[in-house]
A and B are shown apart, each in its own frame.
Chain A
Amino acid sequence: MLSAILAHAPALQTVVPLIAAPLCVLFGRRHLAWFITLAASLISAFFAAYLLAQTLDGSIISYELGGWAPPLGIEYRIDAVNAFVLFIVASVGALVAFYARESIEQEIDPALHVYFYTAFLLCLTGLLGVTITGDAFNVFVFLEISSLSTYTLVALGAGRDQRALTAAYNYLIMGTIGATFFVIGIGFLYMLTGTLNMADLAERIAALGDNRTLRIAFVFIFVGIGLKLAMFPLHLWLPNAYSYAPSVVSVFLAATATKVAVYVMLRFLFTVFGFDYGFQAATLQTIVVPLAVIAMFASSIVAIFQSDLKRMLAYSSVAQIGYILLGISLLNKPGLTAGIIHLFNHAVIKGALFMAVGAFVYRIGSSRIEDLRGIGKQMPWMAAAFVAAGLGLIGVPLTAGFISKWYLIQATLDEGAWWLALLIVGSSLLAVIYVWRVVEAMYLAAPVQEAPVKKAPWSMIVPTWIMVLASLYFGINTELTSKAASTAADLLIQATQIEKAPETVPGAPAAGE
């Protein structure tokens, strides 16, 4: 019985939340809707863990949707790369579902709770679908399912701040332009090859060799996904969307949405376009590396001057995406491994930080740093969680953030780019400044309110601390993350055959050991 179900794990992974979503509206009871959401996201997380365990050794699962054989039918193709991302999204989804119940109680009108849960489940479906599918057009469809539900989720913040509406509107405009660019790119690829299956696309593109249509397709897809993953300077939608969305939505988006977009970028760069190392490498090294470095510095500096904690964390996210992109665009194995590890570690760290902020908003109704003065004594658990995760954001040893930066610095040194290593350390120091500002306000300033603030509810403390402990655990025991990331990096590099590229630095190992 169980093995029959597990054989369909790839499909069930996305189908369970998809079916659960309308159930929430049909039953129309908010506590029941919460229970359905929690159950569906736990089931998804279970399947994701199963798929990760299956693919961790480098094997590939190909699932034919509806029994139609690829390349004509839609294929769900799971390898270590997307199994890892699936695991991140689904497990964060389950924790967020647990956390949501209390958090939205304060921030969203109770009459809208069932719609929140529906939109949340649809968003989860979309993100999981984008990650698991092996069909290029299917990526677009799932991307739009997740994006449309994200716009709704952001707009639900209007109960607390009306600016959530304009944030959602601007996100909708930018997101739709990004998705449409992506479709244009897919259209060019289809014109060129007559197929939409990613593995099939990769083969046919390799057979065709370099040409102008392919380059245009690459550029459209690159810019389209760049908008979705908030690549500097296409990040303008992100700070408002994260600041004005309900806290729980900020947690979910910060931990998953941009990560999934990074995955799509990886998949297209390496698996689909893997043929033409020259043009891609030039794009990545002359455009993405400088943009990533600018993001690391400019966004961190902007973060220092924010008076709102959520907005500060949003700018910090743009900077952290800079680290991930920098790792990827180094185009060597350590760099890719660093990018993928940071994908995971940043999801855990930022999730924990936003969860702590959500609890502050729950108790004192504000996320402004000046309103948080003295909160360290009043809400000791949540303030400590914020500090622990904040240390991870900086990259202090024994936290997950340190592991990411360690790998990243190693990757830059492998390329002989010592100045990049210095820039990484330099931008981390900026993180010290913005995290310290908050710590100072929380612990050293006199409390702003005379009336005692109650501790956060347990249903918020527990998921937050699970995230914090995960960020500490993966800072000490890196076996799972580094194994998954290096298997994933191997698979991606095999797909492009980076070893054969002439551009690698002489003397440095081209694709790791």
Chain B
Amino acid sequence: MFDDFSSSYIIQHYNYWMVIVLMMIGLYIVVSRGNLVKKIVGLNLFQTAVFMLYISMGKIIGGTAPILTGNPDEVYSNPLPHVLILTAIVVGVATTALGLALIVRIRERYGTIEEDEIADIEQEIDRRESA
């Protein structure tokens, strides 16, 4: 196990390390930040890391775009993961847009986009209701 874990092993898989680091940064921001916009930014980072995972898995070193050139020896990258990620990017954009739209509405009603202040206001509503 540790024989595998040499510096060349790390370097050969550097794209995956980058994906893992980016993904964890994103997830950490979502969990740790109280600002709703920052949470959305974290969510974006998290999703982008997954896009990179897909894109790098389809890429072949020296491979070109998959276009018929008439040359049978042409090396080309696998287009399918790339196309899948086009779909996932659209989904990501829609999620971000909806998240930001919700934040605008939250700001209008609560006057803040800080999670702890919103929680205080909601507790206040709860108290008023049960009184």
The interface size of chain B toward A, counting residues with CB under 8 Å, comes to 32
The listed residue (A148, A152, A169, A184) touching B36 by CB distance below 8 A is A169
Query: Contacting chain A: which of B7-15, B43-51, B59-67, B68-76?
Result: B43-51
- Across the interface, A176 reaches (CB within 8 A) one of B81, B95, B103, namely B95
A134–B79 Cα gap in the complex (Å)? 21
The CA of A169 and the CA of B118, in the complex, are separated in Å by 12
A184 touches B46 (CB 8 A): no
Q: Is the CB of B118 within 8 A of A166?
A: yes
Assuming A148-B95, A183-B50, is B109 touching A165 (CB within 8 A)?
yes
- Closest Cβ neighbor of B27 among chain A residues: A177
Q: Are A169 and B110 in contact (CB under 8 A)?
A: no
Instruction: Give bound CA distance, A134 to B77, whole Å.
Output: 26
Whether the pair A162, B103 counts as a contact (CB closer than 8 A) is no
Interface residue A276 (Cβ < 8 Å from any Cβ of B): no
Q: Are A173 and B39 in contact (CB under 8 A)?
A: yes
The answer to whether the Cβ of B84 comes within 8 Å of any Cβ in the partner chain is yes
In the complex, the answer to whether B91 meets A144 with C-beta atoms within 8 Å is yes
Instruction: Say yes or no for B102: interface residue by CB 8 A criterion.
Output: yes
Contacting residues, chain A, for B103 (C-beta < 8 A)? 169
Is A166 touching B91 in the complex (CB atoms < 8 A)?
no
Residue in A148, A169, A187 whose beta carbon sits within 8 Å of that of B94 in the complex = A148
Question: Which residues on A sit within 8 Å (CB–CB) of B22?
Answer: none
Return B32 CB to nearest CB of chain A, in Å: 13
With beta carbons under 8 angstroms apart, the residue of B46, B84, B98, B110 that contacts A162 is B110
Contact between A151 and B98 (Cβ–Cβ < 8 Å)? yes
Contact yes or no, B50 A163, CB < 8 A: no
- B106: nearest residue on chain A (CB-CB)? A165
* Contact of B99 with A172 in the complex, beta carbons under 8 Å: yes
Output the least CB separation between A253 and chain B (Å).
Answer: 17
- Residue contact A180 to B47, C-beta cutoff 8 Å: yes
Q: Find out whether the CB atom of B57 lies under 8 angstroms from the CB atom of A190.
A: yes
- Interface of chain B, main secondary structure: helix
The reply to whether A151 and B102 form a contact with Cβ atoms under 8 Å apart is: yes
Report the interface size class on chain A. 20 to 34
Contact A165 B102 (CB under 8 A): yes
A157-187 contacts to B, CB under 8 A, are 158, 162-163, 165-166, 168-169, 172-173, 176-177, 179-180, 183-184, 187
User: In the complex, what's the smallest C-beta–C-beta distance from B90 to chain A, in angstroms?
Assistant: 9
Nearest CB of A to B11, in Å: 20
Q: Which residues of B contact A176 (CB under 8 A)?
A: 43, 47, 95
Chain A window 176-216, contacts with chain B (Cβ cutoff 8 Å), 1 for yes, 0 for no: 11011001100100110000000000000000000000000
Whether a CB of chain A sits under 8 angstroms from the CB of B122 is yes
Query: A141 at the A/B interface (Cβ < 8 Å)?
Result: yes
- A368 and B130 CA atoms in complex are apart in Å by 9
Q: How far, in angstroms, from A148 to B53 measured CA to CA in the complex?
A: 23
Q: Is the CB of A166 within 8 A of B54?
A: no
Question: A166 with B46: in contact, given A177-B30, A368-B129 (CB under 8 Å)?
Answer: no
**Contact pick for B46, options A148, A172, A177, A191, CB 8 Å:** A177
A166 and B122 within 8 A (CB): yes
Q: Is A459 an interface residue (CB 8 A)?
A: no
Partner of B57, one of A163, A166, A187, A368: A187
- Which residue from A148, A162, A184, A368 sits with its C-beta under 8 Å from B109? A162
B6 within 8 A of A: no
Contacts of A158 in B (CB 8 A): 105, 109
B53–A184 touching, CB < 8 Å: yes
**A residues in contact with B53, CB < 8 Å:** 184, 187
Interchain CA distance A169-B103 in the complex, whole Å: 8
Task: Please indicate the chain B residues that have their CB under 8 angstroms from the CB of A169 in the complex.
Answer: 36, 99, 102-103, 106
CB interface residues, B 75-97, toward A, < 8 Å: 80-81, 84, 87-88, 91, 94-95
Known A-B contacts A148-B95, A172-B95, A187-B57; A155 and B30 likewise in contact (beta carbons under 8 Å): no
Q: How far is the CA of A179 from the CA of B125 in the complex (A)?
A: 32
B85: shortest Cβ distance to chain A, in Å?
9
- Separation of A190 and B85 alpha carbons in the complex (Å): 13
The answer on a CB contact under 8 Å between B54 and A187 is yes
User: With A151-B98, A163-B122, A191-B57 known to touch, is A141 a contact of B87 (CB < 8 Å)?
Assistant: yes
Q: In the complex, which residues of chain A have a beta carbon less than 8 angstroms from the beta carbon of B109?
A: 158, 162, 165
Q: Does A141 contact B91, Cβ atoms closer than 8 Å?
A: yes
In the bound complex, residues from chain A placing their C-beta under 8 Å from that of B94 are 144, 148
Given that A183-B50, A187-B57 are contacting pairs, would A155 and B105 also be in contact in the complex, using a CB cutoff of 8 Å? yes
Residue of B nearest to A370 (CB): B130
> In the complex, A190 Cα to B56 Cα: how many Å?
13
A205 to chain B: closest CB distance in Å? 17
Chain A residues lying within 8 Å of B88, measured Cβ to Cβ, are 140, 183
Residue of A nearest to B88 (CB): A183
Q: Which of A289-330 contact B (CB under 8 A)?
A: 307
- Which residues on the A side are within 8 Å of B95 (C-beta)? 144, 148, 172, 176
> Is A137 an interface residue, CB under 8 A from the partner?
yes
Minimum distance in angstroms from B124 CB to a CB of chain A? 11
Nearest Cβ on chain A to B83's Cβ, whole angstroms: 10
Enumerate chain B residues within 8 angstroms of A183, measured Cβ to Cβ. Answer: 50, 54, 88
Between A and B, 5 residue pairs with Cβ closer than 8 Å are A163-B122, A165-B109, A166-B106, A173-B43, A183-B88
Give 19 A-B pairs besides A169-B106, A183-B50, A184-B50 with Cβ atoms closer than 8 angstroms.
A140-B91, A148-B98, A158-B109, A165-B102, A165-B105, A165-B106, A168-B102, A169-B103, A172-B95, A172-B99, A173-B39, A176-B47, A177-B43, A179-B91, A180-B47, A180-B50, A187-B57, A187-B81, A368-B129
A residues with a Cβ closer than 8 A to B are 137, 140-141, 144, 148, 151-152, 155, 158, 162-163, 165-166, 168-169, 172-173, 176-177, 179-180, 183-184, 187, 190-191, 307, 368
Top 7 A-B residue pairs of the complex, sorted by shortest distance between their CB atoms = A162-B109, A144-B91, A169-B102, A165-B106, A165-B105, A191-B57, A176-B95
